[in-house]
Each structure stands twice: as C-alpha cells, then as structure tokens.
Structure 1
C-alpha cells in the first residue's frame, strides 16, 4: 500500500487531508459545488483536493474498512463501509421524506441540464409524501420535517438555500447524491412497503376502536 503522500505533503495539505477524511466519515459525501449566501454556486475546494489525491485518500480509508468511490458525471465522492457498519438508521417518516426527495429529483432530471441539483420547497416535499404518492396518510408535523431534512443536509443529500426547514416556503437544493442514497431500483419497492405498513396500522386502529 502506497501512502507516500502522507510523508511528502505540506502541513497545509495534511490538514486538508484530515479534514476531507473526517468529512467523508461524518457526512458520507463530498460534492463538487456548494451554495453560498450572496454568491450562489461555488466550487468546493475539498472536492478539488479529492480529485487530485483520490488514490491516497482511498488507500488510507481502506485501512479503516471504508471504500471511497467517485461519480465524476454527477460530481461527488462518497464512502461505503465494507463491513456494512455505521449505517444511518431512519424512522418511517424520515424514510418517507427521503423517498419524496428522490421522486422530486427524478421529476426534475429532464430540465436539470448541467447543474444537476433539483430546487424545491418543503411544501412540495409534503405534497409528494401525502398527496401525489400517498406514502404516509397524513403530513408529518413541521418539527419532524425539520429533523429529517437536517439529517439529510448533514449527510450532503440536500443544501438549504433560504428559510428554515420547519417553514413550508423554505427553499433547498436536492443534490445528485440522492441517487446513491436511494437507488431507482429500491425507490418503488420501499414506497410500497411503507404504504402497506400504514394501511395495516390503520386497520389495527379500527379493530381496536371496535
């Protein structure tokens, strides 16, 4: 295993190396561009660093049982644990919101062009969850929505542009990383399971009432 970079890197490069590795382990993804207030979309220096030192970072993370992967077309790096440990466990409502984000992203694909991010509001997500796809029988309360969207922002699935996550008109970008978080093959399968569970819960509540 060749980790020569660690022996020849400058102090500044080593600091960025550590920062990038920690970001991957805590946030899963490093994306090519970021939104900055008043500046719009800007290049992410961590993505540039990873592009240059991909092999060195990949070999280092492999020692910790993490597999570094890249999607050059959509512009992001991400890690998978080779022992399938350290998984992010989502609640049913969080899962439903994540599915809605993937649906919204897919619907936006044709008009995304080169930018690759799907812009939407919290209101659109809630409409998708309850009305368009009926994943849940009722809208989650706004605090539940805020918690879910905060988790997804912390894992670089989306990035808030303006407003707060507990506000219906809050605007954010769904990042291309959603494609790895929810594969197209799993999308309809998981949505069907959630609908089935909700219907079963409703029938149980009705039987209890009788």
Structure 2
C-alpha cells in the first residue's frame, strides 16, 4: 500500500517527499508557523503543510525503519523519534541548561503566546535565569566569578537548539554571543512535556554549580542526553 501511494505522487511531490524526509531525520521537528527574520514576520511553514497532507505516507515510510512520526494539531508540531531510542543527541551541560531555561520561560509565557504558540525572549534573559537559579556565575569570596558562561557556549547552544527547530533567531544576522532576540517554539513541549516539569526541576538541582564541577561548567565537558 505504501509503495502504491508513493508511486501515485507526481514528480514534484516525490521530490518534496525525499527532501522533507531527509530534513526530518536531521532536524527532528517541524512547526506549523515559521518566523522569517529576513521579512520580520511569521508565515505558514510549507514543509509542515506538505507533511500534514501526506502524513500517513510519511508515517508509514519512517515506521519501516523504526522511526515514529507524530503530529500535535493543537500546537502545530510534527516530531520524529526513534522507537529503539537510537540516534540520540548528546547535549553538553550549558546547552542542556539553556534548553531547560527556555522551557521554564515558555511555561511562564505560554498563556500569552497567541495563535502561533511562540514565546519571545532573548539570550541575556535565559542566562540571567540560570544565574538566578544558581546554575552558573557563582561569585567567590574574592569577587571572582566561577562557572561563567562564554560567548562561544552561548552561540553553540543557540545554534544547536535552532537546528532542531526549538528556538528561532529573530534578527537577520549571525548568532551573537552578546545576545539575540529569540522565539521559543512550541516544539519544546515535545522535548519536555508538562508531566516532566518536576523531573526537570530535579535535574536542575543536580546541575547546580559547585566547586566540585567547576571544570565541567567552564568547558562544557559534562554531557546530558536528550532526543
């Protein structure tokens, strides 16, 4: 049945199918609306529309090789996960913290997110939330700051989360370690759903900065696993 449905697509649809299937394997998430920084506006995501229209075909295609394609019509999220829990990305400590802070900010602002289900914030707000929770930037008795985040860490964390369509940069310019205006996308709900918020808080307690994990905090050598 799958092969027959695929053959019934025209040449343009087949090309879209191949292209988007590869995109999903690399980026994991698609959201219904896409912010285009070059135009400073949010528009319908054509790739999302194509997958929605051909959802059963995409779902059956991925299922053959052990992938599960899911769609949340309420928030406009399409996600692809491996049923064998393979191909999981290892996030370094700072990127994990950045992700968790984005989830907290999303939770705080989701009631005002509007029809696009996106929450606006900026790099500095995310970093300051880490400091408030005691996750980075602990000050010593001599006034020196330990575990301070670097520009490189901030840029790499944002690039990683943007690659997987979890956040979106609002400026039409390169990522900046000093700070960017960003949109937190509803796909973050697929990574950390409501029922896992308490687990996230518990993990944040374990990730709090202390002299014992100084090297990991400064180099990002400690890794946490996420899908």
TM-score under structure 2 length normalisation: 0.82
1:47 counterpart SS class: helix
With over 3 angstroms needed to count, the CA separation of the structure-2 counterparts of 1:139 and 1:108, relative to structure 1, is: farther
Instruction: Determine which of 143, 148, 169 is the counterpart of 2:157.
Output: 148
Measure, in 2, the Cα distance between the counterparts of 1:39 and 1:203: 44
Is structure 2 residue 186 aligned with structure 1 residue 185? no
Q: Deviations over 1:114-152 (max 9, x none)?
A: 121011110111011111x22334441111011011010
Q: Which residue is equivalent to 1:208?
A: none
Task: Identify unmatched segments of 5+ residues in structure 1.
Answer: 206-210
Q: CA RMSD in A?
A: 1.9
Higher RCO, Cα 8 Å, sep 6+: 2
1:66-105 matches, cutoff 5 A: 66-105=67-106
TM-score under structure 1 length normalisation: 0.89
Is structure 2 residue 173 aligned with structure 1 residue 172? no
Q: Which residue is equivalent to 2:25?
A: 25
Q: Aligned residues, how many? A: 203
Q: Deviations over 1:143-173 (max 9, x none)?
A: 1011011010000101111154334341111
With over 3 angstroms needed to count, the CA separation of the structure-2 counterparts of 1:2 and 1:202, relative to structure 1, is: same
With over 3 angstroms needed to count, the CA separation of the structure-2 counterparts of 1:15 and 1:85, relative to structure 1, is: same
With over 3 angstroms needed to count, the CA separation of the structure-2 counterparts of 1:126 and 1:164, relative to structure 1, is: farther
1:1-210 matches, cutoff 5 A: 1-36=1-36, 37-131=38-132, 133-136=133-136, 137=138, 138-162=147-171, 163-198=173-208, 201-202=210-211
- Between Structure 1 and Structure 2, the one with more helix by share is 1
Q: Is the 8 A contact 1:158 1:172 kept in 2?
A: yes
Q: Is the 8 A contact 1:31 1:47 kept in 2?
A: yes
With over 3 angstroms needed to count, the CA separation of the structure-2 counterparts of 1:166 and 1:8, relative to structure 1, is: same
